[in-house]
Amino acid sequence: MRKFAFALLCALSTTPPSAFAAPKVVVSILPLHSLVASVMQDVQTPVLLMKGQNSEHNASFTPQQLLAIEQSDVVFLVGDTLETKLSSLSGTEVVNGKTFVKLSETPGLILHAVRQGGTWEPDSDEPPPSPNTIDPHLWLDPENAKTMVKYIAGILQTADPPNAATYAKNAETTLARLAALESTLKTQLTPLQHKPFIVFHDAYQYFERRFGLTSVGSISNFAASPPSAQRLGEIRSKILSTHAKCVFREPQFNDAAVQTVIEGTEAKTNVLDPIGATLTPGPDAYEKLLSGIADHMTECLS
């Protein structure tokens, strides 16, 4: 017994402080999870709440997911206009007493208002966004990702002072990777800037604006609601009038509407995934997500 007690004492004395101090962190969607996981490397692995092919807009939660939130110390999400059901838990017993971080409220973010209607002109002026009109797909601008990484690191440093230096170091490393990613994507996407295309749902505004791309419409709105017959007709007309080269579908949704609007046109199809439904979660998933979008655009628009 004495030998066991001594061995246990030795084990505790050699355990790194982070094993005791690290907060339990839950993150709503894969792109944000990747950024948080990158900042938390060598400290703790955050829990990804929404996995696989489910849409982030209308996800409901299992008892296991609710338990993960209840047992967490910090919860990161985009905010009210994306993970509606998760955001509505704020102030309830499930999240009471936790740090509940809506990253759409990160100081210094570049925010755009939700675009109205199914078709629009490239780079058209939009009214300044109010809290209720923010396009929530803000992670698709790597400049926003950099801003969020700094904010995430600050939140974690406050929640976990013993590991503050590690979070700061990881944030700097992540910022360097994001800068390199943005430079690579700019070089890759510049030749595509004047080639019109249609997306399945209006999720790519931040990516388009950052890299000067020419999206001219979306089959569904920013929340991926089922399109009306009128909207499908408008999109089909837009494809014909602009000679749009590609209509992008998404892995989370049936592509019947895509097939309807391209019938009889010269537009090709390919897949864009704004959420990383098929990616393995981890610190490098964000880079793979944006690189995948760029690769599929290059394949379809070249």
3-state SS, 34-55, equals HHHHHHCCCCCCCEECCCCCCC
Q: What is the pLDDT of residue 85?
A: 65
- Is residue 264 packed enough to be buried (19+ CB in 10 Å), middle (13-18) or exposed (0-12)? exposed
d(C-alpha 223, C-alpha 59), whole Å: 12
Residues 6 or more apart in contact with residue 71 via CB below 8 angstroms? 24
Output the pTM of the full model: 0.86
Give pLDDT, residue 47.
95
Q: How far apart are CA 15 and CA 54, in angstroms?
A: 39
What is the pLDDT, as a whole number, of residue 10? 43
CA distance from start to end of the chain: 72
Alpha carbon distance 297, 270 (integer Å)? 8
Q: What is the pLDDT of residue 1?
A: 39
How many residues are recorded in the chain? 302
Domains within the chain, CATH numbers bracketed: 23-103+135-185 (3.40.50.1980), 188-301 (3.40.50.1980)
> What does the alpha-carbon distance between residue 36 and residue 31 come to, in Å, rounded to a whole number?
9
Beta strands 47-48; 215-220: pairing state: unpaired
Q: What is the mean pLDDT of each run of 10 residues along the chain (302 residues)?
A: 38 43 89 98 94 60 82 88 66 63 94 84 62 87 98 96 96 98 98 94 94 92 82 91 93 86 91 92 97 97 90
pLDDT value at position 140? 98
In what order do the strands lie in the sheet containing 25-27?
A: 47-48, 25-27, 74-77, 99-102
The encoded tokens of residue 146 equal 């950099």
C-alpha distances out from residue 291 to 160, 191, 207, 215, Å: 32, 16, 11, 18
Q: What is the pLDDT of residue 114?
A: 87
Sole residue written with tokens 């046109």: 265
Question: Looking at the chain, which runs of residues are DSSP E strands?
Answer: 25-27, 47-48, 74-77, 99-102, 197-201, 215-220, 246-249, 268-271
- DSSP per position, 40-101: TTTT-PPEE-S-TT--SSS----HHHHHHHHT-SEEEE--TTTSHHHHTTTTSTTTTTSEEE
